[in-house]
Amino acid sequence: MKKVVLSLGSNLLERDFFLLKATELINCKVGKVIEKSSITETESWGFDSSPFLNQVLIVETNHTPEEVLEITQGIERELGRAEKSGHDEQGNPIYHDRTIDIDILLFEDEIRNSSALTIPHPLLTQRLFILKLLAELFEDQVVPPYTKTFKQLANSITQRGNEI
Catalytic residue, candidates 48, 98, 112, 140:
98
Residue 97 annotated as catalytic: no
Catalytic residue, candidates 15, 97, 101, 112:
101
Domain of 80 in residue numbering reads as 2-121
> CA torsion angle for 101, 106, 112, 116 (degrees, to 10)?
-10
User: Is residue 157 in a domain?
Assistant: no
Catalytic residue, candidates 81, 109, 127, 160:
81
User: Is residue 81 in a domain?
Assistant: yes
Alpha carbon 152 to chain centroid, angstroms: 19
User: Is residue 74 in a domain?
Assistant: yes
Tens digit of each residue's pLDDT (9 = 90 or more) over 9-21: 999 889 999 999 9
Residue 103 annotated as catalytic: yes
Check: CB of residue 69 under 8 Å from CB of residue 121.
Answer: no
Residue 98 annotated as catalytic: yes
User: Is residue 132 in a domain?
Assistant: no
User: Is residue 30 in a domain?
Assistant: yes
Reply yes or no on whether the pLDDT at 95 is more than 70.
Answer: no
Reply yes or no on whether the pLDDT at 96 is more than 90.
Answer: no
Tens digit of each residue's pLDDT (9 = 90 or more) over 121-142: 998 998 999 999 999 999 999 9
User: Is residue 27 in a domain?
Assistant: yes
Tally of structural domains, the chain: 1
Reply yes or no on whether the pLDDT at 84 is more than 90.
Answer: no
Catalytic residue, candidates 16, 88, 97, 103:
103
Whichever domain contains 101, its CATH number is 3.30.70.560
| Number of CB atoms found within 10 A of residue 65's CB | 20
User: Is residue 154 in a domain?
Assistant: no
Q: Which residue has the higher pLDDT, 89 or 49?
A: 49
User: What is the pTM assigned to this prediction?
Assistant: 0.89
How much is the pLDDT for 48? 80
